Amino acid sequence: MDIIKVTSYEEMSAEAAKIIIDRVKETPSITLGLATGGTPIGTYKKLVEDYGKSAATYQHVSTVNLDEYIGLSGDHPQSYRMYMENHLFKHIDIPAHQTYLPDGTAENLMKECQRYDQLIENMGGVDLQLLGIGQNGHIGFNEPGTPFNSRTHIIDLMESTRKANSRYFPTLESVPEQAITMGIQSIFESKEILLLASGQKKAEAIYKLLEGKISEDFPASILRNHLNVTLIADAAALSHTDL
Ligand code: F6R
């Protein structure tokens, strides 16, 4: 794993955006795997800023997001579709039909999971996957205990994850209890992975990621077996390591 140590959230976001912009330039028809949550907001902001002042185009880019809450439609303010529209899609020239997220309101959720896997396969897999990390080591919404060989599936969100994400909802009760998430195997098959971590709250998770056992009890640990992962972390996130 390559590790880029930075001093701040701002610098982490700038480094991540630079890598994404480079990859899009190299391969205009790239498939980007995208994440939501607090961590990548700064990265998306930098992409939008760059788009405004450079000749960058996303016309041929396709995106697949990691996850979506079950029960929230794409126009729900807390849905991940809405998050992506607000933070990135509506600010750049990516065609809407090239942006994919699981449908959390699909009538047949099992079929929706299969459709999502098929979609990723038809695209030839993810070229560059952006990831955040949960304090419990989750990637996507793959909570501890999820099999490493999992594909897109339905997951019961842990109470700690719902609590962490309740900052975006009016109440804890309104945070959905389930989500559809890309599986660990699907994430692992991405050709390149960019993992971002910022702040003291992530320090224990980053310590376990780098020094702990590779185990399904800590989903992100599988990334140590991947040949093309870059971790961009600030000093606070790295503060439990010797780095
Ligand atoms: C989001 C996702 C999650 C988050 C993780 C960290 O699509 O899949 O794994 O990356 O929960 O969230 P933040 O960035 O809010 O700390």
Query: Scanning the structure block, which residue is given the tokens 């990723």?
Result: 120
Which amino acid, 55? A
Domain that holds residue 13: 2-234
pLDDT number for residue 232:
98
In a domain, 239, yes or no: no
Compute, in angstroms, the gap from residue 238 CA to the centroid of ligand 1.
18
> Which residues, given as ranges, of the chain have pLDDT below 50?
none
- Residue 105's pLDDT is what? 98
Please report the pLDDT score of residue 70 as a whole number: 98
The CATH number for 87's domain is 3.40.50.1360
Total domain count for the chain? Answer: 1
Q: Choose one of 9, 13, 34, 39 to mutate for the ligand 1 pocket test, by most ligand atoms within 8 angstroms of C-beta.
A: 39
Residue 240 domain-assigned?
no
Which atom of ligand 1 sits closest to the CA of residue 142? 9
Question: What pLDDT is attached to residue 118?
Answer: 98
Question: Of 65, 136, 142, 165, which residue is the catalytic one?
Answer: 136
Ligand 1, CB cutoff 6 Å, lining residues: 35-39, 66-67, 132-134, 138-141
Is 241 among the domain residues? no
pLDDT at residue number 218: 98
Q: What pLDDT is stored for residue 65 in this prediction?
A: 98
- Write the single-letter amino acid at 54: S
Asked whether residue 178 is assigned to any structural domain, the reply reads yes
First-last CA distance in the chain: 13
pLDDT at 145: 97
Q: Residue 24 domain-assigned? A: yes
Residue 12 within any structural domain of the chain: yes
Distance CA 202, CA 143 (A): 16
Pocket test for ligand 1, best of 32, 141, 180, 206 (most atoms within 8 A of CB): 141
Q: Could you tell me if residue 243 is inside a domain? A: no
**Residue 233: what pLDDT?**
98
DSSP assignments along 71-125, one per residue? T--TTSTTSHHHHHHHHTGGGS---GGGEE---TT-SSHHHHHHHHHHHHHHTTS
pLDDT at site 157: 96
